[in-house]
Amino acid sequence: QSALTQPASVSGSPGQSITISCTGTSSDVGGYDYVSWYQQYPGKAPKLMIYEVSNRPSGVSNRFSGSKSGNTASLTISGLQAEDEADYYCSSIRSTNTDVFGGGTKLTVL
């Protein structure tokens, strides 16, 4: 039961756009439109940023967007801001009726 694959780190300058990928298999990311993305600051609980591939919960900035192609989901943050510096995790349900998270990506705003 390996985790979904995310890059360990990404970085970008203020105002730029960055994309974080999340690669799974046809048994999870590719098989269901139940991919979510979470933002987490050190010592804090995670916060849902995107659900069901591309939907934003109320209150989440429209600078955050999600998409999926085949077995890979993506989180894009446009107009990067200093406050976006955090860890980001993807998750998906699996055909085994379980959930799985990605290993996490540390976003650095230069």
Instruction: Read off the amino acid at residue 52.
Output: E
Burial of 30 (0-12, 13-18, 19+ CB in 10 A): middle
For residue 38, state whether it binds other proteins (rule: CB under 8 A): yes
DSSP string covering 18-31, please? EEEEEE--TTTTTT
The tokens 């933002």 sit on which residue? Answer: 39
For residue 51, state whether it binds other proteins (rule: CB under 8 A): yes
Piece in contact with other proteins (CB under 8 A), picked from 17-25, 35-43, 71-79: 35-43
Is the Cβ of residue 69 or residue 96 nearer to other proteins in the bound state?
96
Is the Cβ of residue 1 or residue 13 nearer to other proteins in the bound state?
1
> Among 51, 1, 52, 7, which Cα is nearest to 27's?
1
Is the Cβ of residue 13 or residue 43 nearer to other proteins in the bound state?
43
Question: Interface residues with other proteins (CB under 8 A)?
Answer: 1, 3, 34, 36, 38, 40, 45-48, 51-52, 55, 57, 87, 89, 91, 93, 96-104
